[in-house]
């Protein structure tokens, strides 16, 4: 039964990935200006708690916010998180409704012995998408259409070791293979017979690696602390320019850096079911190398989050037993728009979850309502409804017994 559930979950993951593979990269409208919007890794439960549950022991999920939490996995666990959002963007008198999807983040956690877990998978770190077009009037009454396309995706493949040396402490280290690409395409199209579109395109492809370390301390049965550090990343790669006139094509070396980040979190239980959690994350402003047009417009990024959870219970009806989650977070972007005016995201989150029928596993849902930027401060604001679904399934692996 569990094997079937595991197979069904894996198939669902593939379907979700395939379904979102075309218009995949997506986040805020502000994301077109740098490297996209930051996607903080974590489960749908983490999102429902407003990204606050960094210091949270969770024995059922392979995508915890704090990798050290993986040390509590006792089964081979597969986790997936898919995020979708709809938003209304306003700029002056203009507005646009936008819906977006993101490539699912997936992780496997493999216990090699009690308290020692290896993890690997795929985590989206930044993503952005933009398709926008403007009319360009020309003499003689003709009008051309300028069509811009932006695609950005930074992801990493973490290779994680999580260890619980003593019952009250967990540590984790991860080596991350970092990769990404940023594509800017510009087309001129007249949308008439006998007219052809011309295109200029720049694709930046880059890669790097990073290290991270984290710890999760269970100082008291109702008090948990988490600390984490991520090294910076020096991305190296190239930028390829292609044009309708192929003789203009060129390639140049390109690089940019992300500085190191640190984070801390705490959770404490008011009683057995009610828990409060908090999380703070910060990365200092990276150099603007590679994005010279943003000189003076890149600042520190930070996240401050708070959440409260009523954990699942064993008594009462469905809604009495179901977990309830509520959270709030503020994320200050690296991007300042205009210079000196940071872009802030503010979200209220809700969510719940239920166990996966037929075996160990969990389905979590979250809803986020918030705003990115503000008309007064940034000139553009975006009202966002974001949904996330998380799926975790587990299977105890053992040597196959040969029937005699």
- Residues in the site for other proteins, rule: CB under 8 A? 19, 29, 32-33, 84, 86, 89-91, 94-101, 130-134, 136, 138-140, 142, 144, 146, 148, 150, 184, 186, 188-190, 192, 194-198, 200, 202, 239, 241, 243-245, 247-248, 250, 252, 254, 291-294, 297, 318, 337-338, 354, 357, 363, 365, 379-380, 387, 389
Looking at the Cβ atoms of 220 and 321, the one nearer to other proteins is 321
Across-strand partners of 303?
A: 281, 331
Q: How far is the CB of 397 from other proteins (least distance, A)?
A: 26
Give yes or no for a contact between 89 and 99, defined as CB atoms under 8 angstroms apart: no
Q: How far is the CB of 74 from other proteins (least distance, A)?
A: 24
Q: Report the C-alpha gap between 130 and 385 in whole angstroms.
A: 18
Residue 22 dihedral angles phi and psi, to the nearest 5°: -75, -70
Q: How far is the CB of 371 from other proteins (least distance, A)?
A: 14
Residue whose C-alpha is closest to residue 54's, from 39, 62, 64:
64
Looking at the Cβ atoms of 130 and 327, the one nearer to other proteins is 130
Q: Report the C-alpha gap between 41 and 21 in whole angstroms.
A: 19
Looking at the Cβ atoms of 226 and 342, the one nearer to other proteins is 342
Looking at the Cβ atoms of 205 and 209, the one nearer to other proteins is 205
Nearest 5°: the CA angle 306, 312, 313 is 135
Q: How far is the CB of 139 from other proteins (least distance, A)?
A: 5
Q: How far is the CB of 294 from other proteins (least distance, A)?
A: 7
Tokens encoding 41: 């890794």
Please name the residues in contact with 141: beta carbons below 8 A apart, sequence gap of 6 or more.
none
Rg (C-alpha) for the chain, rounded Å, is: 23
Q: How far is the CB of 218 from other proteins (least distance, A)?
A: 31
- Provide the terminal-to-terminal Cα distance of the chain, rounded to the nearest Å: 23
Looking at the Cβ atoms of 261 and 380, the one nearer to other proteins is 380
Q: How far is the CB of 150 from other proteins (least distance, A)?
A: 8
Q: How far is the CB of 40 from other proteins (least distance, A)?
A: 20
Q: How far is the CB of 227 from other proteins (least distance, A)?
A: 34
Q: Report the C-alpha gap between 242 and 254 in whole angstroms.
A: 16
User: Could you give the C-alpha distances from 6 to 1, 250, 377, 392, 395, in angstroms and in order?
Assistant: 9, 47, 48, 9, 7
Q: Report the C-alpha gap between 38 and 36 in whole angstroms.
A: 7
Q: Report the C-alpha gap between 262 and 66 in whole angstroms.
A: 12
Looking at the Cβ atoms of 164 and 386, the one nearer to other proteins is 386
Sign of the CA dihedral with 264 first, then 81, 126, and 297 last? negative
Tokens encoding 158: 């973490």
Looking at the Cβ atoms of 80 and 174, the one nearer to other proteins is 80
Chain centre to alpha carbon of residue 255: 22
Looking at the Cβ atoms of 97 and 398, the one nearer to other proteins is 97
Looking at the Cβ atoms of 143 and 165, the one nearer to other proteins is 143
Q: How far is the CB of 101 from other proteins (least distance, A)?
A: 8
Tokens encoding 370: 């918030």
Sign of the CA dihedral with 28 first, then 34, 35, and 40 last? negative
Give yes or no for a contact between 223 and 266, defined as CB atoms under 8 angstroms apart: yes
Q: Report the C-alpha gap between 374 and 95 in whole angstroms.
A: 14
Looking at the Cβ atoms of 276 and 326, the one nearer to other proteins is 326
């Amino acid at each position: 039964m569990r094997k079937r559930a595991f197979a069904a979950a894996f198939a669902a993951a593939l379907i979700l990935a395939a379904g979102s593979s075309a218009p995949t990269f997506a986040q805020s409208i502000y994301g077109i200006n740098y490297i996209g919007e930051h996607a903080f890794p974590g489960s749908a439960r983490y999102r429902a708690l407003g990204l606050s549950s960094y210091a949270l022991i969770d024995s059922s999920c392979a995508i915890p916010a704090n990798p050290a939490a993986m040390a509590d996995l006792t089964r081979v666990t597969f986790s997936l998180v898919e995020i979708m959002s709809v938003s209304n963007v306003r700029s002056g008198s203009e507005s646009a409704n936008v819906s977006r999807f993101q490539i699912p983040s997936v992780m496997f956690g493999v216990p090699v012995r009690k308290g020692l877990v290896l993890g690997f998978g795929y985590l989206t770190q930044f993503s952005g998408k933009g398709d926008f077009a403007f009319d360009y009037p020309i003499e003689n009454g003709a009008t051309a259409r300028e069509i811009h396309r932006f695609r950005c995706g930074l992801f990493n493949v973490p290779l994680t070791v999580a260890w619980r040396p003593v019952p009250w402490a967990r540590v984790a280290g991860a080596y991350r293979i970092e990769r990404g690409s940023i594509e800017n395409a510009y087309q001129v199209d007249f949308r008439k017979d006998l007219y052809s579109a011309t295109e200029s395109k720049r694709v930046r492809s880059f890669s790097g690696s990073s290290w991270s370390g984290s710890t999760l301390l269970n100082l008291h049965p109702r008090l948990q602390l988490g600390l984490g550090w991520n090294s910076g990343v020096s991305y190296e790669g190239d930028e390829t320019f292609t044009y309708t006139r192929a003789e203009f094509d060129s390639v140049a070396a390109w690089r940019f850096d992300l500085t190191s980040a640190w984070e801390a979190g705490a959770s404490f239980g008011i009683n057995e079911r009610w828990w409060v959690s908090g999380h703070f994350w910060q990365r200092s402003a990276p150099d603007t190398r590679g994005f010279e047009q943003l000189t003076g417009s890149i600042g520190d990024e930070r996240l401050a989050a708070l959440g409260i959870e009523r954990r699942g219970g064993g008594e009462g009806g469905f809604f009495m037993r179901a977990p309830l989650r509520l959270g709030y977070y503020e994320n200050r972007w690296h991007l300042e728009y205009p210079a000196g005016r940071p872009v802030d995201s503010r979200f209220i989150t809700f969510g719940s979850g239920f166990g996966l029928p037929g075996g160990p596993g969990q389905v979590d849902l979250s809803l986020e309502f918030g705003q990115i930027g503000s008309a007064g401060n940034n000139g553009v604001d975006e009202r966002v409804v974001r949904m996330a679904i998380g799926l975790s399934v587990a299977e105890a692996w053992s040597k196959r017994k040969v029937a005699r």
